[in-house]
Structure formats: C-alpha cells, structure tokens
Amino acid sequence: MECQICRGTGWIIEEIDGRRIAKRCRCQFERLSKVYLKEAGIPVRYRNCRFKNFNPETPYQLKALKTCINFFSRFPYVNRGILLYGPPGTGKTHLAVATLRNVVEYKGLKGIFCDFRGLLIDLKSSYEGKASASEILDSVRKVHLLVLDDVGAERNTDWAKDILSEIVNYRYTQSLPTIITTNLRFDDISGETFVEKFDERTESRIYDMCQIVKVEGHDRRKVGV
Ligand SMILES: Nc1ncnc2c1ncn2[C@@H]1O[C@H](COP(=O)(O)OP(=O)(O)OP(=O)(O)O)[C@@H](O)[C@H]1O
Ligand SMILES: [Mg+2]
Ligand SMILES: [Zn+2]
C-alpha cells in the first residue's frame, strides 16, 4: 500500500526557517532497515534473540545484558565495542545478535553478523572463484557495526591469526565499533587465553577498542532452554 505521508515518493518537504528542505520519509527508513536486517546475516537459530527474552541468571549475565543495552542506546555515539568471553552456552551470541538487531532495526544503520570460522572458510573458497577475498574482507572491515562471533574456535593457524589481526587493526584505526564473542579467556586464571592463541598486538588493540565483559552461567544448551 502506498504511504499516506509521502504518497509513495519516499520524500517529504519541510519548511525550516523559510527554506524548503526534502527529508526522507519514515516509510523509507522502515524499508531500508528491513533490507539491512536481511543483509545482516543473522543465523536462523538466533533470529528470535532479543534483549527481552534474555533472562540473566548470574551477575555476569546481568552485567553483560546491561552493557549491551547501554551500547545500543548510545549507538552510533559509542567509544568502544564489547568483547564477551566465557564458557559455551552462556548467552554471548544471543546478546551480540540482540544488540546487532536493535541497531539495524531501530537506528537504521548497517551491521553484519560474521562467524569467524565461517569467514575463514569463505575466504579460502574465494581463492577458488566466488566473490573475491578482498570483497569479503572489505564487507566485514568497513561495516558500521560488526559482530565477530566465536573467535578462537577455528584451528590454530598463522593465517587465521593474520586475518583477525587485519580486521581488528582496520577497525581499530578507523574507530569502528565491534562486538566480539569468544571462549578464550581474557583473564589469567585457567584455560586457553586469547593472547596464547593470537598475539599481543591484537590483544592490546582489543583492550583499547572493547569493553571486556566476562559471561558466566550454566550451559543453556545442556538443559534445553
Ligand atoms: N540468559 C539467557 N536467557 C535466555 N536464553 C539464553 C540465555 N543464555 C543463553 N540462552 C540461549 O541458549 C542458547 C545458547 O546461547 P548462546 O549461543 O548465546 O551461547 P554462547 O555463549 O554464544 O555459547 P558458545 O560459547 O558455545 O558460542 C541460545 O539459544 C540462547 O538464546
Ligand atoms: Mg556463541
Ligand atoms: Zn512515506
């Protein structure tokens, strides 16, 4: 149905201080955010993840939820992204997706969900034809908001290290916000730490560009809720 406000033109004319100014109609904003939502690449399993259906069970989860909501409210005026780390099934990807979705839906800005392991596979297959590697890399390097999911779940290779370092360095120097999720530890108590798997240069940049938030709780996948 044709929009009643702009009669389908997509534009409305407003008079400000005696000057006529063309403004994009609200219907265009809604159309655009629908397109962006499709392009965001949110995985099917996570399509219903919202802030309102995230039920924090531990103080860690509550803090993570608050950090994400706060980030979304301020977006795009945010100084830092977020790094969520912790054991499997504690809601890191859920929160990252909910934040991304809100930014795209309510702020009308572009964002991309990128599974790090999937990205490496896409980059590998790009050498066999498909989209070019630089096109793929550019799409994640330059997007307004990037969710980099499950960093560290891939095999340990110098190549994977280089790709992560490349993305992180680009977004760091361009001050573009990134939300990262990982099982690797950012403290030095036990388990494999981020710096062991990657390197100090990348870790140092992440500390500067992200709020580091620990997410602990029980593994939701094990109880099926
Ligand atoms: N606090 C929560 N409230 C509601 N649902 C949750 C919560 N925590 C996790 N879930 C749900 O549990 C499932 C697993 O969560 P999720 O995939 O976000 O875990 P994760 O921390 O990213 O795990 P991994 O480290 O293995 O990637 C998802 O379906 C998610 O929606
Ligand atoms: Mg996850
Ligand atoms: Zn309209």
Residues 125 and 185 in one domain: yes
Q: Could you tell me the CATH number of the domain that includes residue 144? A: 3.40.50.300
Residue 194 covered by a domain? yes
Residue 33 covered by a domain? yes
Give the pair of three-digit tokens for residue 32: 């655009």
pLDDT(126) > 90: no
Residues 197 and 122 in one domain: yes
Residues 24 and 84 in one domain: no
Give the pair of three-digit tokens for residue 1: 């149905």
Residues 33 and 76 in one domain: no
Q: What's the CA angle centered on 103, arms 99 and 107, to 5 degrees?
A: 155
Whose Cα sits closest to atom 25 in ligand 1? Answer: 88
Of 23 and 46, the structure prediction assigns the larger pLDDT to 46
pLDDT(41) > 70: yes
- Which of 58, 101, 147, 220 to mutate to test ligand 1, by most ligand atoms within 8 A of the CB atom? 220
Residue 2 covered by a domain? no
Task: Write the pLDDT tens digit of every residue in 75-117.
Answer: 999 999 999 999 999 999 999 999 999 999 988 899 999 999 9
Residue 196 covered by a domain? yes
Write the CB contacts of 61 (distance below 8 Å, at least 6 apart in sequence).
Answer: 54, 90, 91, 215, 216, 217
Closest to 112 (Cα-Cα) out of 92, 126, 96: 96
Task: Write the pLDDT tens digit of every residue in 135-168.
Answer: 899 999 999 999 999 999 998 889 999 999 999 9
- Which of 49, 93, 214 to mutate to test ligand 1, by most ligand atoms within 8 A of the CB atom? 93
Residues 74 and 18 in one domain: no
**129 pLDDT tier (thresholds 50, 70, 90):** low
Give the pair of three-digit tokens for residue 34: 């629908």
> What phi, psi does 192 have (nearest 5°)?
-75, 130
Residue 5 covered by a domain? no
Rounded Cα distance between 157 and 118, Å, is 15
Least confident of 42-46, 67-71, 160-164, 193-197: 193-197
Q: Indicate yes or no: pTM above 0.75.
A: yes
Residues 96 and 147 in one domain: yes
Q: What's the CA angle centered on 101, arms 9 and 207, to 5 degrees?
A: 125
Contact assessment for residue 116 and residue 148, using Cβ atoms and an 8 Å cutoff: yes
pLDDT(225) > 60: no
pLDDT of residue 189: 67
Rounded Cα distance between 45 and 150, Å, is 15
Longest dimension (CA), the chain: 66
Q: What is the domain extent for residue 20?
A: 10-39
